[in-house]
Amino acid sequence: MQLMQCDLETYLQEDSGCYAREVTWAHRQPYEPLQKPIAQLIAGLSALHKAGFTHRDLRPKNILLDGDGSLKIGDFGISKHVIDGLKTKIIDVPEIWGYSAPEIIKAEASPLQTYSPKVDIWSLGCIVYRMLMGERLFTNLDDVRRNHGSKVESLKSITCKRGDVTKLDVNFLQCLLCEEQERRMNADEARQHSWFSAFDASC
């Protein structure tokens, strides 16, 4: 059995003495492009979804790192079998975190709300944002409920605030964090995004 060193939540925090601050992937791995760990997560999601399952609780706490910095998806406790190509009615609403897709949040109020494996893609988008920016896109449950639309809209202005974030970074995030699940990329489409082009060319 492969030994994992820690979870991504712990890895993306740095103890500065009095408190732990959140840091970017580039801070932890300055010579490792972000595309590498994200490609690993997408490969895991693609295999999971093709097997007919949706994770439903993808967040840094449930992603594990080994000694080489490779990522593995863990904690499949609330994963659910979903028929490929069909939306599934949300009967049991999973606990909502800052990484939950809008359709999961809407299920609190609407018993007829449906979802697909693309809820995991939204969660992946929140994780990419965290690793890229060194902060959470949504800080708590209330933030998700109230602001998921406006915060996704604000992604387009990131490049004005951070010189190290490119337009391609923003486009990839927007494709992952598309509010309409019908228009959101699936795992295989995400892996084919041009955000990976330079990384694939260097491999």
Cα separation, 56 vs 136, in Å, equals 18
Strands 13-15 and 20-22: antiparallel
Residues sharing a CB contact under 8 Å with residue 34, sequence separation 6 or more, in sequence order: 25, 26, 128, 131, 132
**Catalytic annotation, residues:** 57
Length of the chain: 203
Largest CA-CA distance found in the chain, in angstroms, rounded: 49
CB of 72 closer than 8 Å to CB of 4: yes
Question: And the tokens for 13?
Answer: 């925090």
CA–CA separation, 12 and 195 (whole Å): 22
Q: How many CB atoms lie within 10 A of CB 30?
A: 8
CA 26 to chain centre: 17
For residue 135, CA distances in Å to 22, 25, 169 come to 6, 11, 15
